[in-house]
Structure 1
């Protein structure tokens, strides 16, 4: 029964061009090119645990000492006094409405103001310190810098980097080289590790958007590998990694209290983001997959699946661009970048209580 379901799902008429079978693109000594193994995508999962372990080692022995040397504090906010009824209510929902405040104040014999203050203190306890945020962004900076540099290195001598039509000419009989294999596996492993750590890393306002983004990226990487679409997949990876380098660098500079450096990097990031995510990505990559691909190879159902997923990622880019432009506008108005793109909802709430006199404060944060 399972075999029947798998055969139905991996129908050659869906995933491959006409008159092509899975056997045609299966690796073998008699093949003219080296085809990717479909089960290679599974290597990304154990490799993800290697990245998580590597991150832990870097965080403990390099990122944290470096952050402390810059004077970043690892202090936690003042703890809220233990109150069993308030704690029980907080565990049900960290967000609170005015009606609940009135009800709780009667139950615990405190004023509404005291309940509000306790709630803010309790929520602050769950927020990570600046050192934790700094280390997280330093790890992301390290990975994105490495992955983009490695991707550029391995693609530099590939025809598809200079002539995007080569992504489709001769498809699906396109061989994979060892450097592209590693580029794909490392990138896939990173998104697997990001999906796993997403639930204990710093929680952002767009928690679920980023979770969906990671899942969509993993699916795109896995399916494009299995269907031998690794050429266009590699270009998509390269374009996406570039802007993220500047984003996480700006965040790290912010947490290290290098405000001027943060402002400069954020300005560069905004330009690079718009150029790559709203320029190269839609008008070069998606244009090629939507306009050029149908001219160079026969269409098949999986083509529309991949193109839809690429467009879905573009929709997320548009959403995040709006948040980024809001940050840029407020930064120009305030004279500096205040807060972060894509911050946690609790951070927003607490800031609104403690910064009524700072109308230009920005509390959004974005990540790729």
Structure 2
């Protein structure tokens, strides 16, 4: 039964072009190598290595950098121990008016005192700035490194300049060490994110990001298994480019380098537009949709791949709309300063809130749907600086 399930999952009729079998890919020419499904298994132990490498990087590199930049851990104010309120907090961190009235009667507390307790309790669980800095520095380092590695190999590849080369003699295209290393690094990184999600800063879109990481792993695995490495490396490089500037802007924000943060945000916006709304659709997606149809012809997995790429493009448009809307608002409506009743948080302009945007990338709708100031601060009252 296990064999029949495996045959169904890896159906040649679905995954490969007509008259091509998995056995054909098991017999490469002398001195060449084709991608094989078993290669994908190497990513799992490598993901553990990447995860451990990240822990070492944060301890030995990121934290010392945070100390140099005077980014402190900070000790949040602790909520007064209360078993009744703690039980409610575990199910609902922000109770409604009806619940507040009931708790007020039960505890003989004023409603404002209960609201204050929940506010302090929420802040107690918020990640400190140093932890955010370390996470962003790790992602910045990875994205920068993998982008440089990928573009270095693509620069001398003919399909970088002529995307039709992605499909000539497909799927009988030899696997190069550079392609294997690029795929292994990306796949192991995303598997490591699956592990680290449970120790990273908890976000409201935890489930969405979990699904996103699984989808990304599927796309990378799928393109490797049926030897779409050439177009796959193009897709990965295009997506990694703008993430570098997003994480850099977040680092500048945490270090309170406001002008640098604003400048990096502008660069991020421009790079996002160029890579996700110009290069990706008119260069990469066009090649998969049109050029592969002309050279290879459609097959069942071809429809799946193009469907996923087009869904991703739709998300790119939505994300950029949100980024542009808030950026324009910040530029043309002046400098908005937000008052905060917590003395530990300085007054910051709206542009700074924009710059922190959100964590990854690669990216899911909830990440960019939260590009509003109240995501980064508790409820606040705005006042316009004169």
Q: Normalising by the residue count of structure 2, what TM-score does the alignment of the two structures yield?
A: 0.87
Secondary structure in 2 matching 1:74: coil
Answer whether contact 2:35 2:225 (CA < 8 A) is retained.
Answer: yes
Offset, 1:322: 3.0
Change (3 A) 1:326 1:112: farther
What is the distance in 2 between the residues matched to 1:350 and 1:168? 46
Return 243-252 or 96-105, whichever deviates more: 96-105
CA distance in 2, matches of 1:245, 1:14: 36
Query: Is it true that 1:303 corresponds to 2:293 in the alignment?
Result: no
Question: How far apart are 1:107 and its partner, in Å?
Answer: 1.6
Name the counterpart of 2:242. 243
Structure 2 vs 1, CA of residues 287 and 62 (structure 1 numbering), >3 Å: closer, same or farther? same
Q: 1:92 deviation in Å? A: 1.4
CA contact (8 A) 1:213 1:313 kept: no
Shift of 1:42: 1.2
What CA deviation, in whole Å up to 9, does each residue of 1:318-342 have, x standing for no partner?
3322332243134323445132323
Alignment deviations for residues 227-267 of structure 1 (CA, whole Å, 9 cap, x no partner): 01111100000000000000000001000111110000000
**Structure 1 residue 87 corresponds to structure 2 residue 86:** yes
Give the structure 2 partner of residue 356 of structure 1: 381
After TM superposition, the structure 1 = structure 2 runs for residues 220-235 of structure 1, keeping only pairs within 5 Å, are: 220-235=219-234
Q: Is the 8 A contact 2:239 2:275 kept in 1?
A: yes
Measured against aligned partners, the alpha-carbon deviations of 1:147-179 in whole angstroms (never above 9, x if no partner) come to 000001111211111110111111011111111
The residue that corresponds to 2:292 in the other structure is 293
Q: Please state how far the C-alpha of 1:103 moved relative to its aligned partner.
A: 1.8
Measured in 1, the distance between the counterparts of 2:125 and 2:329 equals 27
- Could you say what the CA RMSD is over the residues aligned between the two structures, in angstroms? 2.0
Residue pair 2:25, 2:36 contacting (<8 A) in 1 also: no
- SS of 1:357's equivalent? strand
Shift in CA distance, 138/27, structure 1 to aligned 2, threshold 3 Å? farther
Assess if the C-alpha contact under 8 Å between 2:14 and 2:299 holds in 1. Answer: yes
Q: For the residues of structure 2 that align with 1:110 and 1:284, how far apart are their CA atoms? A: 63
Aligned to 1:55: 54
1:1-368 matched pairs, under 5 angstroms = 1-28=1-28, 30=29, 33-332=32-331, 333-335=333-335, 336=349, 337-339=351-353, 340-342=356-358, 348=374, 351-353=377-379, 355-358=380-383
CA apart distance, 1:88? 0.4
SS of 2:377's partner is helix
Contact 1:80 1:122 (C-alpha < 8 Å) held by counterparts: yes
Change (3 A) 1:350 1:193: closer
Gap change, CA 1:96 and 1:359, over 3 Å in 2: farther
1:363 aligns to what? none
Partner SS for 2:79? coil
CA distance, structure 2, for counterparts of residue 132 and residue 341 of structure 1: 16
What residue is the counterpart of 1:366 in the other structure? none
State the Cα deviation string for residues 81-132 of structure 1 (Å, max 9, x = none).
Answer: 1110000000112242222222222222211111111111101111111111
Whether contact under 8 Å (1:137, 1:251) holds in the other structure is: yes
Q: How far apart in 2 are the matches of 1:349 and 1:292?
A: 43
Name which of structure 1's ranges 93-102 and 80-89 shifts more when overlaid on structure 2.
93-102
Q: Does the 8 Å CA contact 1:17/1:299 hold for their aligned counterparts?
A: yes
**Does the Cα contact within 8 Å between 2:261 and 2:352 map onto a contact in 1?**
no
Deviations 1:296-326 (A, max 9, x none): 1121100111111112222332332233224
